[in-house]
Structure 1
Amino acid sequence: EQAAKYPQTDWHFEYSPETFSTAELDFSLEVCEAVMEVLAPTPDHPIILNLPATLEAATPNIYADQVEYFIRNLPNRASAVISLHTHNDRGTGVAAAELALMAGADRVEGCLFGNGERTGNCCLVTMALNMYTQGVNPELDFSDIDRVIETVEYCNQIPVHQRHPYGGELVYTAFSGSHQDAIKKGFAAAKRQNDEHWRVPYLPIDPADLGRSYEAVIRVNSQSGKGGFAWVLEQDQGLKLPKRMQADFSPHVQRMADLLGRELTAADIWEAFRDAYHVHASDKHFQLVDYEERRTADGARLFTGTIAVEGEERTVSGRGNGLISSVLTTIEDAFGLSLEVADYTEHALGTGRDARAAAYLECRTPEGATIWGVGIDEDVATASVRAVLSAANSAVAG
């Protein structure tokens, strides 16, 4: 009667049988049919029948069965929008809503991050992004989820839990070594294959789709493995450590994590790396001042350079079949330090004309110990020379 007084308003009515999930289904149907007779909905102007799990008292499949029975036995079904209103008393509010949608419901009522009476209602963020991960557009925009969180926390004065699905601060973060290694390999495979589908282990959704960066995906503490710090160094410094070098560096990271007793930042890991391999360190035993290299008449390489030893500059030289071997010969002849190359790799740091180079050198001592050296420079040849001196510094440091 009141609606008829205001024909310029487009009225839509909703009715909720409040104790639907704990009432006799046939009685709920009888009441809803009576309401529909009064309101006279049509397919073009349907009524919303909202079916609450006012107190979640059974497993999600039971609620879905109740909804399915209601839908199958409702006269004039085309004139009703079947809505869901779940609660989370048993911790399955989202699951109940998902199963009830599969049972034929059309609409879901809920709250952002599950706020609501007692344990809360269906979390619309979780519900929507569960659908999104299955290729169903929920028609809700969470592309800047941190802004949504900020607004919800301000309005409700209730913080979103760090491990709340999709939105929590730590949900895209791995501390476990095995998880970090799998994520690192997953990212590498996706980049290599240019796969349009998201297939990274332990990450149910691409954080970038929600406005999150990859910086916090892998974080390092005392329980982290090699994949963790290797990922951080690659993302932060562009370094792609060889597998055996990762194993060599791992104890240094572990010691720092145990010493500090907290999560390590990218700056912490970079500091540990520079200290371990004497990169840009002012207190290293050998420091490269300058050098030149030329090919001799017999095809050998001649290295001539100035190396500061404990701050005192010395001019030294040596021959070899390449730059690295000539520097190793120089180190042995001038300082009595014998090292043999076991492996060498290099790569560019970045792209373009100004890209620097990183060189990694694995050496063996006469006693069979493994020593690693690292060199970083704008010039790839100089980077390899620095890698030799880095290994020499590690050998001297013991």
Structure 2
Amino acid sequence: MKNAAKYERAYFMPPEDCYDWVKKEYITQPPTWCSVDLRDGNQALIIPMSLDEKIEFFKYLVQVGFKEIEVGFPAASETEYDFLRALIEQNLIPDDVTIQVLTQAREHIIRKTFAALEGCKKAVVHVYNSTSVAQREQVFKKSKEEILQIAKDGAILLKELAEETNGNFLFEYSPESFTGTEMEYALEVCNAVIDIWQPRPDWKVIINLPVTVQHSMSHVYACQIEYMSKHMHNRENVILSVHPHNDRGCGVADTELAVLAGADRVEGTLFGNGERTGNVDIVTLALNMYAHGVDPKLNFENLPEITEAYERLTRMHVYERAPYAGKLVFAAFSGSHQDAIAKGMKWRESKDPNHWNVPYLAIDPHDIGREYEGDVIRINSQSGKGGVAYILEENFGYRIPSKMREDVGYTVKGISDHQHKELLPKEILSIFTEKYVNIATTIKLVEVHFAQKNGGIETELTLGREGIMKVYHGKGNGRLDAISNALKRHNVLDYKILDYKEHSLTVGSNSKACAYVQLQLPDGRIFWGAGVHSDIIDASALALFSAVNRALA
């Protein structure tokens, strides 16, 4: 692309090496979570949520387990003001949940914000002003000293109004466009605010360092956070928060590395909704921790329900391949993937049921309310024998012999390819039943009798063929051998039996048995048949006749 030269570096590295975060392998405990779905996520919607929708969404966030929820910009719009007042006046805020409101560092907006908070049991008042080079020079046309004074004036006014207003207030400050700000200057501004607020162990303040726009790779942001954490005044009484956006598609990476670098708190949204490319996706962050054995302290055990509510209330769509929540993220269409997953499931069940290490599946879908049926093994023209066999066994109890799986797999795949669509489990069962089970297209077994004579088994078969009934006789070492010899004796078909398997059907009907027979014709061709009956002997006979009929066809 010809215009790359016009993009100069818009971020600033710290003035010293800050790479202690590199030594950490993974996040060992979750940060404090703050949902900004009802503010940042709402203002990014084409049609913002109504008052009733915001109340319903707030209740979902509480149900998930958020203890801090940013509810809006009450000085910005009537709906957001009314929403805040409804939460307070209708006593909808649980005692263990703290709401958060946002305000610019402008006097009339701060005053209106505190007026909206009258009577609130506990709230974080989040004040911000922009500090980046681009904002200072292009938007505000102010010097560093003037921008610093805006932050200090806002911090002073928060302190004054908190003492005058009925309620319990915590403070948060954000140097908006932090990543585009010189690190020494960002530190100076934040420390000035901290010095005004004078946090204590029993009254900590939040310093939020947002990725308002992503300018750098994620490791740069981690170094910036580590630098700020190391040099921030009164650090033990400061909660270091991050609020990453996703302009470069690195919101999750930025946040994870920032937590390694010292961040205590994360602001984000469910599924990453927010301005432009969105905020960091808290569902992904939390379940990434969960996949490392760390309880994120958020409950996504019924993620499909949460996804449905989110899509309904925001009119947004969760992408099918979005991590964890997407409808297809656990789906395996590839034959080799299906085979590995099916074998992994079997291995885990018998060898190590208390741990999860199944190929191709980062976490157990059941943990977030997903089902193996329809979610994991999905069948289309790209699928393999293992996937088809897995569907038939897990859903319907058919334990297809390993040698038969390829035959069944190609049959099902061929139909999917011809119809140009995915096949659902019930459709796969219908294909298997139609093509392999109790087939009587040419010869029908009407009646069979056995007698034990001279150390062997004799049989008398009544068969129907083209509407004509005939009685055949045969002898053998066992019942199936006797039936087979009767067919060969009367020249029905020349073949030999290569394989035979049987089992009880464990899904759907415990009273039925299933048998499988593999035949080989003199020219080498192979045919399989299956039989299902309440009696295993009859099931075996039906399996043989299914294979014979498939060969005759």
Q: After TM superposition, is the score higher than 0.5?
A: yes
Deviations 1:217-245 (A, max 9, x none): 11111111112211121123211212221
Whether 2:459 is the aligned partner of 1:287: answer no
Q: Relative to structure 2, which stretch is displaced further, 374-383 or 166-175?
A: 374-383
Residue 280 of structure 1: CA displacement? 4.1
Whether 2:208 is the aligned partner of 1:50: answer yes
From 125, 134, 137, the counterpart of 2:295: 137
From 406, 410, 414, the counterpart of 1:255: 414
Task: Tell me, yes or no, if the aligned pair for 1:328 and 1:338 is still in contact at 8 Å.
Answer: no
Residue 376 of structure 1: CA displacement? 1.2
Deviations 1:73-110 (A, max 9, x none): 11210110000100100000011000000111111000
Residue 54 of structure 1: CA displacement? 0.6
Match of 1:236 in 2: 395
Match of 1:377 in 2: 533
Residue 332 of structure 1: CA displacement? 1.3
**TM alignment of 1:12-51, pairs within 5 A:** 12-51=170-209
Local SS of the residue matching 1:360 = strand
Task: Tell me, yes or no, if the aligned pair for 1:328 and 1:339 is still in contact at 8 Å.
Answer: no
Deviations 1:309-362 (A, max 9, x none): 233332222110011100101111234322211111111211899432111111
Inter-partner Cα distance in structure 2 for 1:79 and 1:353:
64
**TM alignment of 1:298-337, pairs within 5 A:** 298-337=454-493
RMSD: 1.7
Inter-partner Cα distance in structure 2 for 1:169 and 1:317:
57
Bigger RCO (CA 8 Å, 6+ sep): 2
Quick one: percent identity of the two aligned structures? 43
Inter-partner Cα distance in structure 2 for 1:349 and 1:221:
25
Local SS of the residue matching 2:490 = helix
Match of 1:273 in 2: 432
Cα distance change on mapping 1:310 and 1:188 into 2, 3 Å? farther
Local SS of the residue matching 1:12 = strand
Whether 2:547 is the aligned partner of 1:394: answer no
Match of 1:348 in 2: 504
Whether 2:161 is the aligned partner of 1:5: answer no
Cα distance change on mapping 1:310 and 1:193 into 2, 3 Å? farther
Match of 2:279 in 1: 121
Cα distance change on mapping 1:178 and 1:199 into 2, 3 Å? same
Residue 194 of structure 1: CA displacement? 4.1
Inter-partner Cα distance in structure 2 for 1:236 and 1:310:
36
Structure 1: 5+ residue stretches without partners: none
Residue 272 of structure 1: CA displacement? 2.4
Local SS of the residue matching 2:517 = strand
Match of 1:357 in 2: 513
Inter-partner Cα distance in structure 2 for 1:224 and 1:236:
17
Match of 2:4 in 1: none
* TM norm structure 2: 0.69
Cα distance change on mapping 1:352 and 1:295 into 2, 3 Å? farther
Residue 151 of structure 1: CA displacement? 1.2
Local SS of the residue matching 2:474 = strand
| Amino acid of the structure 2 residue aligned with 1:373 | G
Match of 2:372 in 1: 214
**TM alignment of 1:141-156, pairs within 5 A:** 141-156=299-314
| Amino acid of the structure 2 residue aligned with 1:272 | I
Local SS of the residue matching 1:252 = helix
| Amino acid of the structure 2 residue aligned with 1:208 | H
| Amino acid of the structure 1 residue aligned with 2:365 | P
Cα distance change on mapping 1:352 and 1:154 into 2, 3 Å? closer
Match of 1:161 in 2: 319
Q: Relative to structure 2, which stretch is displaced further, 119-128 or 314-323?
A: 314-323
Residue 148 of structure 1: CA displacement? 0.7
Cα distance change on mapping 1:56 and 1:353 into 2, 3 Å? closer
Structure 2: 5+ residue stretches without partners: 1-159
Match of 1:181 in 2: 339
Cα distance change on mapping 1:351 and 1:220 into 2, 3 Å? closer
The count of corresponding residues between Structure 1 and Structure 2 is: 393
Match of 1:87 in 2: 245
Inter-partner Cα distance in structure 2 for 1:336 and 1:120:
70
Residue 34 of structure 1: CA displacement? 1.1
Local SS of the residue matching 1:205 = coil
